[in-house]
Structure 1
Amino acid sequence: MEHRGVRRRAVHGGQPLPRHQPGAAADAAVRRLGATQAAGGGEPGGVRRGCGRAGSALSAAGFLPRYQPLRFPIARPAGRAPEPILTSNAPAGTVIAIGGALKPDSDAVWQRLVDEAGGAGAPIAVFPTAAYEPERVAAQIVAALERCGARAEVVPVAPHLQGVDLQARLNDPALIARVAASRAVFFSGGAQEYIVDTLQPGGRATAMLDAVRAVFAAGGVIAGTSAGAAVLSRMMFRDAMDNLLVLKGLWRAGQEYDRGLDFLGPDLFIDQHFIRRGRIGRMLPAMRALGYRLGLGVDENAAVVIQGGRLEVVGGSGAVLVDLGEAASEPGLPAFNLRGARLSYLAAGDCHDLGSGLTTAAPRKLREPCIDPAAAGFAPGLKSERYFLDILGGGGLLDAMTQLLDGPAPEVRGLAYRANPRPGDPAPELGFEFRLHRDAGLRGWRSTTLGGDDWTVLGARLDVIPVRVANPLFTPLAALPRRVVESVLAGRGGPGENGDGNGQR
């Protein structure tokens, strides 16, 4: 699906953003998923056309050794009249998506959840459904919430709870009533498929899920961490742990992707552990295949509060907002490719309005000068150029974005590839070059008031180019002939040298 139009600049005074037909592709994906599940399997061949068919097309392309970009022209998108991103009615409640791996001192996130639920004494239902050790995980969550003043109750609905009749608990009228009377619901981390398979088996909502939705409809809070955040959007990653294989086209209904619980409508796609685990590699092809204009990748030890079309980052790290409003692909290429995506990195206190497309940096950052690489007299704070040999490695994306904003070069590049391809890899020599580059919309801030580098980066432009990478990536240098080595060691000199071994200078 092509997304065309004029992007609003992510700073005050920008031009309006267009948007895709609201939810059309995501709704179609839901229908396809239902048909696929009814037929009892994944899509033919296990690969969606939207991400490039990883079988015959890749073979025909002949991904042979050498690191060589596949070049192609991309037409600039045509302009269109301004439209808001969100046209559907704003949801009544608040969503809090937590990226996972919250640190012990992350009380800012827990306190914000309690405050949004009504403050001291707020009843919060805790679902450890996704957890492999639900008793232990639930106890930790309850302790964190009660430390911030909430009245938390565990909802014992989890496949890994021992000695529990899961179906009986799911249909227990008293338990359902207590959930519906809560002011907030919290989903733990673990495996998101446990949440959807338990509360929404086969895509059909249980009475327990109806109770959770009633909390949201009444203006309550739905929050989740890690797997619990993944289920918040309409469509979600189910089990797509290998970013590179998703980039290569491994994209099957009911396996890599599935229905989520749909607390965000058709306009926003959520992912978690985002920067730490390099999940930009799986988000881009997923958004393209499912028709999402906007994606929100929440990093570890951070949360994003989503309320009435407004995003605010809380916690110790940040989140990446991905905008494909200007993105285009070359359909003739046999692998995923993208030109013209926009990435913004928001940290604690930064806010973004989905309706206007405007971002407001945290007040502590506005006390610092705005970094504008296009301004006259711009002096980069980062002095050295860098090439990222593992752009999907831990922290690589954020490092590349800050390098683009405050470094000396107008373009920053990095590779996504696997030096030791795994069995079953459909294209071992296929890699992807990520090219971040500047244009007039790039802005940002860098603050040290929190004790370290604290960035906001708005409007980095990204292209993803499929490339061939040699397999093996390198080979050892061949040894010199033995007679040459012996000659040098004997002091007689090698070829081209005089007898004293010093050679002619």
Structure 2
Amino acid sequence: MPDSADRHFDAKIESLQRAITGGFITMPAPLLAAASGPSHRKGPVFSRTAGRWIVMLLAWAVTTTALAAASAAGTAPTGYAVPIGGELRYDNTAVWSRLVQLSGGPGSRWVVIPAASSAPEKTGEMVVDALQRHGAQAVTLPVAPEWQGYEVAEAVHDPVLIEQVLAATGIYFAGGAQSRITDSLQPDGLPTPLLQAIWSVYRAGGVVAGTSAGAAVMSETMFRDAYDVLRVLKRGRLDEGQEIGRGLGFVGPELLIDQHFLKRGRIGRLLPLMVQKGYRLGLGVEENTAAILHDGKVEVVGGKGVLLVDLGAASQDGRLDAFNLRNAKLTYLDRGDRHDLHSGVTTPSLQKLQGQLIDPGSPDFAPSFESAPFQNDMLGPSTIVDAMGSLLDNRDTEATGLAFSGTPRASDPQPDLGFEFRLRRGPDSHGWYTGAFGGDDYTVLNLYLDVTPITIARPLYGPATASATDAVVPRYEPLAPTLP
């Protein structure tokens, strides 16, 4: 009766057979004939002895190929990095079809890596199904700490899996906990052969996409397990190894990525990390939305948009104890928009071009709003981008909002610390509006943000007063409805 090691190796051989049958691995005919037993209508059937030789040969050949390709490719990626902001719907045809198109169109090969997921097999199946429904060939790799029966430390060196990656033109990282991805693919900061193979595909022009956690790993610095947004803003910095860590770096060293961005008000954590690490550019990707990054350009696809933050002309007041920032430039790119990160030129979507140009500096500027509303919670869902659209299309030139805790924790060392967010228009502020997407949708270019620490009064409110000294004593009278 075979022992557990034999059963594990048998599984590798079966995986090899499936990969060859599915076209993800091509073997020389003489080797295939020598290794195979009797012919079978479903493909080659390997003996255990032959399978051992093949797997060992592939381990040497594939790893050597991946290393050589990575070395020869140099450092300039030519592929497509596609961070997706999380909560990607499987019926989001705009995103799924674009991924398949970028990877070569119908028939293109994808591998799905569900390393971040707590239910990797189920997650992998769902992603594979979505890719296949949009014309791709796709397979899930058993590379996940939570995948029963597979050891990640072995999987990332498995020649069969590495060869499947090298045969693909698209790699997809599923969501979950981003630390599982980086701990699996680059333990101790060193790239595994599987990660080197992924880089080879990317440098050869392939697509590396990821949602939620899969988007977080795209930059060289990633949010790992950060505290809530307001707590990060109050502290003004994030701890290495716990809150932030080393990402995989597909978008290069000059851009910081964050996800679930607008829904979770993550502008409050992006700004401190950009300052801490010296980033000039940050990109916050909203849920159910993809940012396609290639050759220094970004294209927005999906349900909503992305917020681009530029700290190139920003400054801080070092005399203040709390986090502060002045003159951060914000640009909101909606679905269908394109932007050149080098030149700063934005090309709006066709719907926006067919809509309304909004230029506050134009003599015929006719704003839709008379005054900018005060925002009680600037870190609320989509508040920052709603405030940007309202300010652009407004007679007012500034808009203000607050970020604070109404019920601070007992352990909060700074319960009364809050922040004022002040948005300002500048001479270069402009944008576009359309109702073609079923709502009021703006593309907003070049608004300026100041973040200033403030003290929150406690209590926040009290009973109404009749005068400066006399409290109103409530006296409630029964209502007398007049309508039947």
TM-score calculated relative to the size of structure 1? 0.76
Contact 1:90 1:309 in 2 (8 A): no
What's the offset of the Cα at 1:472?
3.6
Contact 1:419 1:471 in 2 (8 A): no
What's the offset of the Cα at 1:300?
0.7
**Runs of 4+ in structure 1 over 6 Å off:** 478-482
Q: Distance in 2 between matches of 1:263 and 1:358?
A: 23
- Give structure 2 stretches of 5+ with no counterpart: 1-73, 477-484
What's the offset of the Cα at 1:214?
1.1
Q: Distance in 1 between matches of 2:144 and 2:210?
A: 15
Contact 1:428 1:471 in 2 (8 A): no
- Structure 2 partner of 1:59: none
The structure 2 residue matched to 1:392, chosen from 379, 383, 407, is: 379
Q: Which structure ranks higher in relative contact order (CA pairs < 8 Å, sequence separation ≥ 6)? A: 1
Structure 2 residue 166 is matched with structure 1 residue 180 = yes
The structure 2 residue matched to 1:134, chosen from 114, 117, 120, is: 120
Structure 2 residue 334 is matched with structure 1 residue 347 = yes
The one-letter code of the counterpart of 2:228 is D
Partner of 2:357, secondary structure, is: coil
Partner of 2:331, secondary structure, is: strand
CA offsets, 1:104-155, max 9 Å, x none? Answer: 4311101111111111111111011111111221111111100100111101
- Structure 2 partner of 1:242: 228
- Structure 1 partner of 2:217: 231
- Structure 2 partner of 1:158: 144
CA offsets, 1:212-262, max 9 Å, x none? Answer: 111111111110001100100010111114111111125100011110001
Contact 1:234 1:260 in 2 (8 A): yes
Partner of 2:172, secondary structure, is: strand
The structure 2 residue matched to 1:259, chosen from 220, 236, 246, is: 246
Q: Distance in 1 between matches of 2:91 and 2:392?
A: 30
Contact 1:138 1:154 in 2 (8 A): yes
TM-score calculated relative to the size of structure 2? 0.79
Contact 2:340 2:346 in 1 (8 A): yes
Alignment of 1:49-448 (within 5 A): 90-249=76-235, 250-448=237-435
Contact 1:287 1:295 in 2 (8 A): yes
- Structure 2 partner of 1:20: none
Identity %: 50
Contact 2:79 2:206 in 1 (8 A): yes
Partner of 1:442, secondary structure, is: strand
What's the offset of the Cα at 1:200?
1.0
Contact 1:236 1:258 in 2 (8 A): yes
Q: Distance in 1 between matches of 2:442 and 2:117?
A: 33
Partner of 2:275, secondary structure, is: helix
Which deviates more from structure 2 when the two are superposed, residues 270-279 or residues 174-183? 174-183
Aligned residues: 401
Change (3 A) 1:439 1:203: same
Partner of 1:387, secondary structure, is: coil
Q: Distance in 1 between matches of 2:79 and 2:191?
A: 19
Contact 1:100 1:225 in 2 (8 A): yes
Higher share in helix = 2
What's the offset of the Cα at 1:421?
1.1
